[in-house]
Structure 1
Amino acid sequence: MHTKSDSEVTSVDQSWPARSPRRPLYYVQSPSNHDVEKMSYGSSPLGSPHHYYHSSPIHHSRESSTSRFSVSLKNPRNLSSWKKLHQSQHHDDDDHDDDVGDADQGSGHNIRLYLCFILLFVLLFTVFSLILWGASKSYGPKVLVKNIVFENLNIQAGNDDTGVPTDMLSLNSTVRIVYRNPATFFGVHVTSTPLELHYYQLSLASGQMKKFYVKRKKEKKMVVVVSGHQVPLYGGVSALGNARQQKQNVALPLNLTFVVRSRAHILGSLVRSKFYRRIRCSVTLHGSKLGKPANLTHSCLYN
């Protein structure tokens, strides 16, 4: 029975036409972990005895993409490297943002420090300037009118500018003044208003003091000419009624007035202090004492 079946199989095989030889089958096998490690270290996949690659470029591209995907999934080292790279990128971005934020905060903090420093400097400078200014007030200048000398006195008849006849007075005198600056840390620039001799409200003579500068703890002596020329009297000076005939008997009460203005530059032009001295001296013009100094040391008021 066994023999019969063999013969039948043989006959059947012989009756069928000869088949074309079968093509060998190809299998795509994912690389193992050990192979992936070799690939990760640069070994070529062709060197493995378990891999066979088709010469077709399409099949090769499919196989390479599949291999890459399988490597990325199966190789824990590559996954950890990719995660570390991703985390390092995020960490670098965060560090950059933190650096930018820290730089902004640092610049803002520096600006606040500068503003505080400027305000503190202005405050300290203001306080220092006020201290200097207050201290300078205790060093007011000293003005002393020592004497006046009436050089000559002349009264004669004449006409004013409009042609009205009246007595005309000419007077010449000199005033000696001592100015002292007691300050220890600043000098002063000094000016004054015109020095005027008045008979009540009538101005008989005037003179101008020149500008000058006095250093600290120094003094200056001055001589100011106070004169009047052809001043119309219009009969307003009764004491001069007999002056043309008897000049020696003239006793004319006069007032000498002027204002001394002092300006101190304590700290350059930033801190300045001003002083005013209003001076009023009472003096009597005696016709018999012309050319002689009249002492005014105790005859003046200083305000």
Structure 2
Amino acid sequence: MAVTMHAKSDSEVTSIDASSPPRSPRRPLYYVQSPSQHDVEKMSYGSSPFGSPHHYHCSPIHHSRESSTSRFSASLKNPRHPAPWKRIQPRHEADDDDDDDDGDDQGSGNHVRFYVVCFVFSFVVLFTIFSLILWAASTPYKPEIFVKNMVFHSFNLQAGMDGTGVPTDMLTLNSTIKIFYRNPATFFGVHVTSTPLELHYYQLKVASGYMKKFYQSRKRERIIVAAVLGNQIPLYGGVPVLSGARDHLESVSVPLNLTFVMRSRAYVLGRLVKPKFYRRILCEVTLKGNRLGKPLNLTHSCIYK
């Protein structure tokens, strides 16, 4: 029984060897993938005790290694076609280094610009706040102004002709005005100017004068004296109370209005912070022929706006 089985095995081995193709190192066995599941089952459950799966897999692996070795040696012999990774890798690393350097330089430049912009913006904001604080602190220190008195020194009315030859009464007037001015500010002085001081009989201007500009230091005061003059002013009958009063001027009484604007300007922080104080003054004064040379008190006769 044992001899029979051995003979059968020999015949099966012979049939397997005869059916299997002859091995050749040049066949593309190393390009073929692993055997399918059907072949593995055939190898595992075959009737030949000599056809082991280990023997079956050894040959393809051996040829695969030989083929890979031959291809590597061929690539070394033919340097015209180097591996793609050998050409790309160094350039890629160099580009990465350049990009990193450019990124660092650009980042540092952006940081510098950001700091400069922040510094400029902060300086402008702080300087603006400081200027507003100074301006707000200076506004309560308005100059103190009031007109003390006015003196009419001379008053004359005579017949004459204007520039076109029209005969009319001509008025000549000489007067002075005293103004009290005080700067109450504790940390800045002021520059003071004024518009022309004008005397009007309703809409008719009969005299005018100018006040010299001056500088008033902090917490100081002064008395300003300005001359208001009228020389050969044609009346054209515009002052009825003076018509025919050339012979008795001491008895005339002419109501007049004195108007002017005083402008005070302080330079707290150069020309950046310069508060301005305007005071418009309107005074009612009466010209009396019998009070020439005497001061007329205007303390309670003026309106300050």
TM-score under structure 1 normalisation?
A: 0.67
Corresponding residue of 2:146: 144
For 1:234, give the aligned amino acid: Y
By how many angstroms is 1:96 displaced?
A: 7.1
* Correspondence for 1:209: 211
The equivalences for 1:221-260 within 5 A come to 221-260=223-262
Residues 1:220 and 1:92: Cα distance change in structure 2 (over 3 Å):
farther
Alignment of 1:156-235 (within 5 A): 156-235=158-237
SS in 1 for 2:267: strand
Q: CA deviation at 1:94?
A: 6.4
Q: Aligned AA for 1:134? A: A
2:156 corresponds to? 154
CA distance, structure 2, for counterparts of residue 165 and residue 270 of structure 1: 55
Are 1:279 and 2:281 counterparts? yes
Tell me how far apart the structure 2 counterparts of residues 207 and 243 of structure 1 sit (CA, whole Å): 26
1:251-276 Cα shifts (integer Å, max 9, x gaps):
11111000111221121011222221
1:160 is displaced (CA, Å) by 1.2
Post-superposition offset of 1:242:
4.6
Distance (whole Å) between structure 1 residues aligned to residue 191 and residue 245 of structure 2: 42
Cα distance between partner residues in 2 of 1:243 and 1:210? 35
Alignment of 1:1-303 (within 5 A): 98=100, 100-303=102-305
- Comparing 238-247 with 214-223, which one deviates more in the overlay? 238-247
Q: Which runs of 5+ in 1 are unaligned?
A: 1-86
Instruction: Give the 3-state SS of the residue equivalent to 1:266 in structure 2.
Output: coil
Matched to 2:238, the amino acid is G
Per-residue deviation, 1:92: 9.6
Q: 1:201, 1:282 → 2: CA distance? A: 14
Instruction: Give distance in 1, aligned partners of 2:226 and 2:119.
Output: 53
| Cα-Cα RMSD | 2.5
Q: AA paired with 2:233?
A: V
In 2, Cα distance between equivalents of 1:140 and 1:269: 19
Residue 153 of structure 1 and its aligned partner are, at CA, apart by: 0.4
Q: Report deviation, 1:178.
A: 1.6
TM-score (norm 2): 0.66
Q: Which residue of 2 aligns with 1:9?
A: none
The C-alpha deviation readout for 1:105-147, integer Å capped at 9, x for no partner, is 1221121011111101101111111222222221122211111
Cα shift at 1:243: 2.9
Q: CA deviation at 1:150?
A: 0.2
Identical-residue share of aligned pairs (%): 64
Letter in 2 for 1:224: A
What is the rounded CA distance, in whole Å, between the counterparts of 1:168 and 1:269 in structure 2?
A: 47
Number of equivalences = 220
User: Separation in 1 of the partners of 2:98 and 2:167?
Assistant: 102
Task: Name the amino acid aligned to 1:292.
Answer: K
Secondary structure of 1:145's counterpart equals strand
SS in 1 for 2:135: helix
Q: How far has the Cα of 1:180 moved from its partner? A: 1.4
SS of the aligned residue for 2:115 comes to: helix
Structure 2 residues not aligned, in runs of 5+:
1-88
Mapped partners of 2:170, 2:94: distance in 1: 104
